[in-house]
Amino acid sequence: DQQVKQNSPSLSVQEGRISILNCDYTNSMFDYFLWYKKYPAEGPTFLISISSIKDKNEDGRFTVFLNKSAKHLSLHIVPSQPGDSAVYFCAARKDGGSQGNLIFGKGTKLSVKP
């Protein structure tokens, strides 16, 4: 049973426009949500996170929105740049941090066209 779902395997956006990556989850016990970015042949790198007690977190061009009632979060990238082209993973943490374990979605491949 997939607890973290990224239903769009890929997304293509024009440079300068907004990219919106979506993530749905099923477990209401998740207390933190994170987004990771991964380039080919590299390890994932942390991008931004949000606590379950907040509904928005912003860091530069990146904003994450959390809708707890819908069990849905989204990552907005504005404006999108060609260097943002990568696979984006949504992840969720449970266990209150006692183990730090993350549950990852399958990822969405973002392509930003010049």
Binding site for other proteins (CB under 8 A): 6, 9, 32, 34, 36, 41-46, 49, 89, 91, 93, 95-102, 104-107
| Contact predicate 31/96, CB 8 Å | yes
Q: HSE-up of 65 (CA within 13 Å, CB side)?
A: 10
Q: Which is nearer to other proteins, 5 or 61 (CB)?
A: 5
β-strand pairing of 108-113 with 10-14: parallel
Cβ closest to other proteins, residue 33 vs residue 77: 33
Residue 58 CB, shortest distance to other proteins, in Å, is 17
